[in-house]
Structure 1
Amino acid sequence: MLYAILAYHVEGVVASWTPEEDAALMADLHKVHDRLHQEGRLGPAARLGATEQACTLRGPGTGSITDGPFAETKEQLLGFYVVDCDTRAAAIAAARDLRRVNPTAVYEIRPVSLYLPGTPFPVTAA
């Protein structure tokens, strides 16, 4: 079963990190990423851009666009992982591994019902 692990954090906190602090956290996260990849369980993962550049499409017909992705939460969705786990408990364990090295983040675990394996992400500037 595939699970999405959605990474939430207070965007202002993340933006306040020095390049060195961000690189240190990413190095720790890459250890978890590398292990999940070696186990053949890590699918697409991405760090999302700033929420101030996001918009939301909602409503009937062609819909309307509003600024921001805003839900009524303190944290913003800043990234996601897709992991292949046999059980919900295994997906939760993978999220706990990520949280262990990024303890101020919030991770939502959600089953994925549609996944197109082998679809590459385009390479873009960070």
Structure 2
Amino acid sequence: MKYLGLAYFAPEKFAAMAPAEVQALVSQCPALDEKMRATGKVLVSASLGDVEHWVTLRPRGGKTQVSDGPFTESKEMVGGLFIIEADSREEAVRLAAMHPAATLGEAGGWGVELIPMDFFLAAN
């Protein structure tokens, strides 16, 4: 089964951290990401771009309306995603626990949401 992992952060908490704290935290991510990819179970892994470049598309009055920024307002924002293939929920949790947002960044409000996917189409 395939699982979508959404890596969250709390922008206000992250912004309250000293630049040196942010750098110390972020510098640990590449090694953890590589450890996760080395399992051979990671199909996609990506950090998302700055929120000021996001757009949201919604149907409105029979047309597509495009607006700036994320549509939902919350205390946490998605900062990255990954898709893994696991033989069980337990394996998926073990793999997702390797992601930096699941192991680091408590001060920045990091966390991972793991969602089973009903289907998956790979782009060519």
- Asked if these proteins are the same fold (TM beyond 0.5), I'd say yes
> 1:33·1:42 contact (CA, 8 Å) conserved in 2?
no
2:41 corresponds to: 41
Helix, strand or coil at the partner of 2:66: strand
Equivalences for residues 107-122 of structure 1 within 5 A: 107-112=112-117, 113-116=119-122
1:122 corresponds to: none
- TM superposition score normalised by structure 2: 0.75
- Count of paired positions: 117
Query: Residue type of the partner of 2:115?
Result: R
Helix, strand or coil at the partner of 2:121: coil
Identity %: 27
Unpaired segments of 5 or more residues in structure 2?
Answer: none
Deviation above 6 Å: which 4+ runs of structure 1?
none
Query: Residue type of the partner of 2:122?
Result: L
- TM superposition score normalised by structure 1: 0.74
- State the Cα distance separating 1:25 from its structure 2 match: 2.7
1:5 corresponds to: 5
Write the distance in 1 (CA, Å) between the matches of 2:95 and 2:18.
25
Helix, strand or coil at the partner of 2:80: strand
Equivalences for residues 83-94 of structure 1 within 5 A: 83-94=84-95
Stretch of structure 1 that moved more, 60-69 or 80-89 = 60-69
> 1:11·1:78 contact (CA, 8 Å) conserved in 2?
no
1:79 corresponds to: 80
User: Over aligned residue pairs, what C-alpha RMSD do you find?
Assistant: 2.4
- State the Cα distance separating 1:81 from its structure 2 match: 1.1
Higher strand share: 2
Q: 1:35 to 1:4 in 2, by over 3 A?
A: same
Write the distance in 1 (CA, Å) between the matches of 2:18 and 2:82.
22
Write the distance in 2 (CA, Å) between the matches of 1:25 and 1:67.
29
> 1:6·1:77 contact (CA, 8 Å) conserved in 2?
yes
Unpaired segments of 5 or more residues in structure 1?
Answer: 120-126
1:102 aligns with 2:105: yes
Query: Residue type of the partner of 1:72?
Result: E
